[in-house]
Amino acid sequence: QVMKELFGINELEKELSQLLGIKEVIVVPGDTDQSNWVKKEIGRAGARVLQQLSIENQIVAVTGGSSVLAVAEMLTPSTVLKSTTFVPTRGGLDEAVELGANYIASMMAKKTGGRYRLLHVPDQLSPEAYEMLMKEQHIEKTLAYLKKSRIVLHGIGDAKKMALRRKSSPEVIKKLEQGEAVGEFFGYYINSKGQIIHRIPMVGLQLENLDQVELSIAVAGGTSKAEAIKAICSLSSVHVLITDEGAAEAILKKS
C-alpha cells in the first residue's frame, strides 16, 4: 500500500474506475509489455481477489490466455476454494495447450484443492457434429455448470495479436482490419466503439450468459492492450479489473 501511494497508483486506480465505470480497479506497478514479471504480479493480485470474493460451493468459469494462467499459478489452497468447481468457458482453441481454458481450469483445481470439469468440444464445429456432441451427457453437464457460474475470470486480448495466435485465416484478419477491431474476449472481436466485428463460433459461455454471472473479473495488462481494455469494458460489465501501470496510463492518456 505504501509503495502504491509512492507511485501514485492509488490515483490511477481511482481515475480508471471512474472512466471505465468499474467498481474495483487494481493497478500493479510496471508494464507487462516490458517485463513478464509484471504479468506475474497481475496473477498474484488476481489470485488474491479471487480468494477474497469467493464463497463455498461456487462455480468459477475461466477463459484461457497467459494472464489467466498467471492467476492460476499464484493460487493456493483455501477453505472456500476447496469447495469450488472450476469450469472452462469453452473447449478448444487453436492455441498452445497451456493457454487453453481446459488446462487452466484443471490447474486451478490442482493448486487450490478444488474440483474441475472439462469441456471436450473443439471450436468451429459443423452443424452435424454440434448436434451430436450436444447430446453427450458429459458435455451437457459441463454446460449446465457453466450457466450456474457465480464468478467468471477472463483475459482481454489485443485483436490482431489474438487472431495471429489463433492462426486465423487471411479472410478473418482482413475482416478484423476493415472493422478496425481492437480487442478480443471470449472469441468475440470488438472495435473501439464496443461493437462486435467478428466472433469465433463456439460451444461454451456466450456473451448473453455474462449478464447472469454475479461477478466478472478481468485480468489484462500492458500498454499495447489499452485500446482493447477500454473497448471491452464499454461492452461488458466488468466488476473487477486487474491491470498494470502501463495499460492504465495509456487508457487515461488516450481518453
Q: Using the rule CB under 6 A, is 184 a contact of ligand BG6?
A: yes
Q: Total number of residues binding ligand BG6 (CB under 6 A)? A: 14
Would you give the binding string for ligand BG6 spanning residues 23-62, x where CB under 6 A is met?
----------------------------------------
Q: H-helix or E-strand containing 153?
A: strand 151-155
Smallest gap from Cβ 39 to ligand BG6, in A, equals 8
Q: Which of 69, 75, 1, 76 lies closest to 32 in space, CA to CA?
A: 69
**Between the CA of residue 96 and those of 36, 65, 193, what are the distances in Å?**
18, 9, 30
**Residue 71-110 contact track with ligand BG6, rule CB under 6 A, x = bound:** ----------------------------x-----------
Candidate residues 30, 43, 114, 157; the one interacting with ligand BG6 per rule CB under 6 A: 157
Question: What are the grid coordinates assigned to 137, written together?
Answer: 451427457
160 binds ligand BG6 (CB under 6 A): no
Please list, residue by residue across 17-48, b when 16 or more beta carbons sit within 10 angstroms of its beta carbon and e when fewer do. beebebeebbbbebbbbeeeebbebbbbbbbe
Site of interaction with ligand BG6 (CB under 6 A)? 63-67, 99, 154-157, 162, 184-186
